[in-house]
Each structure stands twice: as C-alpha cells, then as structure tokens.
C-alpha cells in the first residue's frame, strides 16, 4: 500500500477540513462509494472514491486527533486514473487551505 500525506494546516478546523475534502472530491468528478471511519484511527473520516465505472479505488483518510490526512492506494485497487486524480485533489485542497 502507498500512502501520500495531505498537508493540514493547524489553522484549518477539523470539520472544515472534511468539507474541503468533500468539495475537492466533487470538483474532481469522483464518486464517493463509502464514507465512514476506521477502527485503527478513532474519530477519523475515511472515504473510498471511484472515477465513474472505471476500475480502482482511491482511499482518503482525515484523522483530526492527529491533525493528519492522507491518500491510500492499495495494490489490489490500483488504476491508471488514480495518480492524475491525486494530483488534482492535492491542487484543489491546497487552493482551499493556502
């Protein structure tokens, strides 16, 4: 599995950062197939996103307790579109947090 950190400024509140991620997902034309949390990161918000009907799943996790967020790409869920969309999501998130 590959993890890519998402910078999270201490000036951005927990709920606000989650909304920024939701907006970036929507602006990137991705579809949320799961929004929940993970036992291993209590209090986190975890998304599974897809690019229409294409294969592959990009995972995004925001963990307020640690003021940390990241993209996860699991080897069994890789797809060509993921690298391009990660870059776009990073740009969209950066534009809202800078």
DSSP string, 78-98: --HHHHHHHHHHHHHHHHHH-
Note the pLDDT tens digit of each residue in 60-96: 999 998 999 999 998 888 889 999 999 999 999 999 8
**Average pLDDT for residues 13-35, to the nearest whole number?**
93
Give the global pTM: 0.92
Cα–Cα nearest to 85, from 9, 31, 16: 31
Per-residue pLDDT, 75:
85
Per-residue pLDDT, 42:
93
Q: Which domain holds residue 80?
A: 2-97
Note the pLDDT tens digit of each residue in 37-60: 999 999 999 999 999 999 999 999
Per-residue pLDDT, 74:
86
> How many domains does the chain fold into?
1
**Average pLDDT for residues 29-34, to the nearest whole number?**
97
List of residues 6+ apart from 87 with CB closer than 8 A: none
Note the pLDDT tens digit of each residue in 9-18: 878 877 889 9
Domain with 52 in it: what CATH number? Answer: 3.30.310.10
List of residues 6+ apart from 51 with CB closer than 8 A: 29, 30, 31, 79, 81, 82, 85
CA dist 22 → 3, 56, 65, 75, 92 (Å) = 19, 19, 19, 24, 11
């Amino acid at each position: 599995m590959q993890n890519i950190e998402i910078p999270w400024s201490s000036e951005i509140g927990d709920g606000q950062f989650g909304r920024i991620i939701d907006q970036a997902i929507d602006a990137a034309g991705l579809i949320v197939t799961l929004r929940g949390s993970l036992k291993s990161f209590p209090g986190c918000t975890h998304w599974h996103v897809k690019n229409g009907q294409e294969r592959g799943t990009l995972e995004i996790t925001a963990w307020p307790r640690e003021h940390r967020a990241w993209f996860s790409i699991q080897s069994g869920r890789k797809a060509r579109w993921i690298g391009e969309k990660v870059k776009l999501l990073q740009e969209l998130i950066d534009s809202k947090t800078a």
